[in-house]
Amino acid sequence: MVFGFIRGQFIDVIEWTDDTRNTMVYRFERYGNEIKYGAKLTVREGQIAVFVHEGQLADIFDPGMYMLETNNMPIMTSLQHWDHAFNSPFKSEIYFINTRRFPGLKWGTQNPIMVRDPEFGPLRLRAFGSYAIRVTDGAAFMREIVGTDGDFTQDKIAGQIRNIVVQKVSRVLAASGIPALDMAANTKDLSDVVAKAIAPTLGEYGLEIPELYIENISLPPEVEKVLDQRTSMGIVGDLNKFTQFSAAQAMQKAAEGGDGGMGAGLGAGMGMGMGMGMAQTMGQAMGGQQPQQTGPAASAPPPPPPPPAAEAMWHIAENGQTRGPFPQSQLASQITRDTLVWTEGQSGWQKAGDVPALAGLFASMPPPPPPIG
């Protein structure tokens, strides 16, 4: 009776409350690993308890409360060769495995991924995102990953899983054939493909990835800069209108810089000069001409003079017939003031003396003599 009372006072309670939020496996510490027969085991939701006896994986307990006796420890009973009268402590290690999700783990490509883009050709891409892991097979997880580690946290496996994720992401992006500009619209599908490709490997570890996200796919900075310039050109559209708009803005800013009176007039003049200069420079650049320079650079030789204008050609009417055309330099010896002449652009036949363009031919010729008598 006394021994029964003492045994009741020392009932063993085995449980684990996770207050770290990052511990995946916790070994229940007990001096000498002695567990009393009939002890109470409490396994909470999101946990499983694994018994390891003499290095062998024994019983696994799902969430619930258990009295550790031969009727609910079949594997342990067979290992110990217990009979129903056994009533003494036994030595065994108890590991609690956290089966909840561990979210917010990060992954990213340390080196760029080489892809063949259908629009830009060979490209280097970088990608990063996040994922979550969960233990689905406690026995496999203990054998393949944990071993005898009594305080196993997510940080100890995050690096290994990150390498697996990056490897799969690199292969999926390189083989997707999706243009780089369209990948942002396909991150959900790409994430699903990566998660599906990773599942068999993680399954061997007793793990799964319930969530995997590709949060960003980026181009190298130098490529992004060129792409921004290309986008800017598309937004500008008509360069002539853009030049006029820029010149007007420059004029307005320069005019607003004045402080009234002469300062305002000077600012407006400077703004107008700047705007006209800018417009002229842009116009010459688009027309294939070089803008005019001032200062020391203006010492370059001037451009050649334009060719002389073509000489006017004249027709002469005499006795009902026409002669010519003759260049104006040859008319002096062939006409008088009363000779009828015509050239292109003239409304009709006129006397040579009445055509202003030919007045120089008769300046040195005396008028006809006066009549006799």
Backbone region of residue 127 per phi and psi (left: phi > 0; alpha: psi in -120 to 50; beta: other values): beta
| Interatomic CA distance for residues 35 and 233, integer angstroms | 77
Which three-class secondary structure state does DSSP give residue 304?
coil
The answer on pLDDT for 83 being more than 60 is no
Helix or strand run (H / E) with residue 64:
strand 64-67
Cα–Cα distances in angstroms (integers) from residue 113 to residues 140, 167, 173, 184, in the given order: 33, 10, 8, 16
Choose the weakest-confidence range: 101-110, 127-136, 191-200, 341-350.
341-350
- Among residues of the chain, what percentage have pLDDT more than 70? 73
Q: How many CB atoms lie within 10 A of CB 152?
A: 22
Choose the weakest-confidence range: 7-11, 48-52, 365-369.
7-11
Cβ neighbors of 174 (< 8 A, separation 6 or more) are: 113, 114, 115, 116
311 vs 123, more confident: 123
Burial 244-263 (b: 16+ CB within 10 A, else e): beebeebbeebbeebeeeee
pLDDT bucket at 24, cuts 50 / 70 / 90:
very high
At residue 46, the pLDDT reads: 92
In this prediction, residues 81-86 reach a mean pLDDT of 51
Question: What would the pLDDT profile of 299-309 be if each residue is shown by its tens digit?
Answer: 566 777 766 66
The tally of CA atoms less than 13 A away on the side-chain side of residue 296 is 0
Query: What is the average pLDDT value for the chain, to the nearest integer?
Result: 77
At residue 130, the pLDDT reads: 95
In this prediction, residues 65-92 reach a mean pLDDT of 65
3-state DSSP of 207-267: EEEEEEEEEEEECCHHHHHHHHHHHHHHHHCCHHHHHHHHHHHHHHHHHHCCCCHHHHHHH
Give me 313's structure tokens. Answer: 């050609």
- Among residues of the chain, what percentage have pLDDT more than 90? 25
363 vs 118, more confident: 118
78 closest CA partner among 70, 68, 69: 70
At residue 4, the pLDDT reads: 39
Q: Is the dihedral of CA 319, 320, 324, 328 positive or negative?
A: positive
Question: What would the pLDDT profile of 267-287 be if each residue is shown by its tens digit?
Answer: 555 555 555 555 565 555 555
Choose the weakest-confidence range: 167-176, 194-203, 277-286.
277-286
In this prediction, residues 362-366 reach a mean pLDDT of 63
pLDDT bucket at 53, cuts 50 / 70 / 90:
confident
| Interatomic CA distance for residues 351 and 356, integer angstroms | 10
pLDDT bucket at 208, cuts 50 / 70 / 90:
very high
Give me 43's structure tokens. Answer: 């396994």
By 3-state DSSP, what share of the chain in percent is helix, strand and coil, each rounded to 5? Answer: 40, 25, 30
The answer on pLDDT for 81 being more than 90 is no
DSSP letter (8 states) at residue 309 = P
Which pTM value belongs to this model? 0.55
Q: Which residue has the tokens 């070089």?
A: 290
Q: How many CB atoms lie within 10 A of CB 368?
A: 9
